[in-house]
DNA sequence: AGGCATTATTGCAGTATGCAACGATTAGCG
DNA sequence: CGCTAATCGTTGCATACTGCAATAATGCCT
């Protein structure tokens, strides 16, 4: 485990950029694959359902969480409500607001896609040795931490 | 009955799945950030320009490379041609085909977005130690290789 | 020459997206 | 208390992305 490699110079940054850039498409492909295989729910809809599976909110908060315009979120809500995946209900405290809540079918859809993603991802990782798996987990965690330090809260809500 | 875990799932695999799943959103966010900052060109358009920056092709090959329907690719070509980013030209060898070539502005647009992506990604990686950078590069490369072995050629052309 | 495959294109339908305007409701201030 | 400003959801309009089905033009093969 202890690599005796000489400490890389700043040239390693370029190489790391190349490797990450070239490999990220594979990562994106796995996600796209899992969501495309889901029945009927599109990727933007899945993102919305994921947000609502965390906490039920109103429209403007939801739109901000997804980083889309309120009108966009509204029409997506319309479609998801028609599909029976979420419900509108008026907030008695503030009659301007509309509380948006996932239905059972909505929660089921999120679980299904999540399971698919985890299964597909596990299938890929199973081809790596346990050491490689651990190294990947560490490296990805470090990357996420660095990205969040640089641009806090900019992580798109995709999973 | 006895403990669960009917599958030969190791604990490190689960952890790796969690880490990759939780971190891939950061990676996607960096890409989305770079492309959103580009003036006027959308993400699907950028993907098309990237393909054409490699080799000039006809419509059906282009559509297949992007994994979209020919009609979708055609209308995107229409818009990019109107925007002056690519050119149509009839192939004298086969007059059914239309050769699609990037214009100077098209190549410039690809270079701009690429530079942005590399700059943003480098900013994140600069926060990691050289050892972490090298580890990340190795891990991502291994992941991409495993994914390609499992689903050959499924990598979406995003980078 | 005639039939079949390929290529680009168009029509139709549905989803996603943002900007601007609007009505209803609430909060804040004088 | 009453008026004004802010907030919230909504609608209209325009554009982009997406796929399915049909069609015209062209090339290939027997």
In terms of Cβ atoms closer than 10 Å to its own Cβ (0-12, 13-18, 19+), residue B134 is buried
Q: Which of A120, A121, A87 is nearest to A104 (CA)?
A: A87
- Backbone phi, then psi, for B152, in 5-degree steps? -60, 135
Instruction: Measure B69 CA to D22 C1' (Å).
Output: 15
Cβ–Cβ gap A139/B141 under 8 Å: no
Examine the pLDDT at B30 and tell me if it is beyond 60: yes
Cβ–Cβ gap A146/B128 under 8 Å: yes
Scanning chain A, the segments in alpha helix (DSSP H) are 11-36, 43-54, 59-66, 70-82, 104-125, 130-150
Confidence of residue A53 (pLDDT cuts 50, 70, 90): very high
- In this complex, the residue of A10, A22, A140 whose CB is nearest that of residue B159 is A22
Shortest Cα–Cα distance, B30 to chain A (Å): 8
Of residues A3 and B108, more confidently modeled: B108
Q: Which of A8, B104, A74 is nearest to A66 (CA)?
A: A74
Confidence of residue B156 (pLDDT cuts 50, 70, 90): low
A98-102/A86-90 β-pairing:
antiparallel
Cβ–Cβ gap B33/A151 under 8 Å: yes
- In this complex, the residue of B126, B139, B150 whose CB is nearest that of residue A132 is B139
Q: Using CB atoms and an 8 Å cut-off, which of residues 105-144 of chain A contact chain B?
A: 117-118, 121-128, 130, 132-144
Q: Hey, is B101 helix, strand or coil?
A: strand
Of A40-49, A145-154, B22-31, highest mean pLDDT = A40-49
Cβ–Cβ gap A26/B132 under 8 Å: no
Examine the pLDDT at B150 and tell me if it is beyond 70: yes
Q: Stretch A84-109: mean pLDDT, rounded?
A: 96
**What is the distance between the alpha carbons of residues B9 and B11, in angstroms, rounded to a whole number?**
6
Q: Work out if B55's Cβ lies within 7 angstroms of strand D.
A: no
Instruction: Measure A3 CA to C4 C1' (Å).
Output: 63
Angle at B27 between CA B26 and CA B29, to 5 degrees: 65
Which residues are in reach of strand C, CB within 7 A? A 42, 44-45, 66-72, 75-76, 79, 94-96; B 58-61, 70-71, 74-75, 77-78, 88, 94, 96-98
Examine the pLDDT at A4 and tell me if it is beyond 70: no
pLDDT, tens only, B32-61: 888 877 778 999 999 999 999 999 999 999
Instruction: Give residue for tokens 């994914």.
Output: B147
Confidence of residue B5 (pLDDT cuts 50, 70, 90): very low
Examine the pLDDT at A40 and tell me if it is beyond 90: no
Q: Stretch B84-88: mean pLDDT, rounded?
A: 97
Q: Using CB atoms and an 8 Å cut-off, which of residues 21-40 of chain A contact chain B?
A: 21-33
- Which bases of chain D are under 7 A from a protein CB atom? 7-13, 16-22, 25-28
Indicate which of A4, A33, A155 best probes the interface with B, i.e. most B CBs within 10 Å of its own CB.
A155
């Amino acid at each position: 485990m202890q690599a005796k490699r000489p400490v890389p110079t700043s040239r390693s940054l370029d190489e790391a950029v190349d490797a990450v850039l070239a490999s990220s498409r594979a990562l994106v492909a796995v996600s796209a694959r899992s969501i495309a295989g889901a029945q009927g729910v599109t990727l933007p809809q899945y993102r919305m359902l994921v947000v609502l599976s965390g906490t039920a909110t109103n429209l403007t908060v939801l739109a901000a969480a997804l980083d889309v315009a309120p009108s966009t979120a509204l029409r997506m809500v319309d479609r998801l409500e028609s599909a029976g995946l979420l419900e509108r209900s008026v907030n008695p405290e503030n009659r301007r607001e509309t509380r948006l809540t996932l239905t059972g079918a909505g929660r089921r859809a999120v679980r299904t896609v999540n399971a698919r993603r985890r299964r597909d991802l596990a299938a890929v990782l199973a081809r790596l040795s346990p050491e490689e798996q651990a190294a990947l987990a560490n490296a990805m965690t470090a990357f996420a931490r660095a990205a969040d330090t640089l641009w806090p809260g900019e992580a798109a809500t995709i999973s």
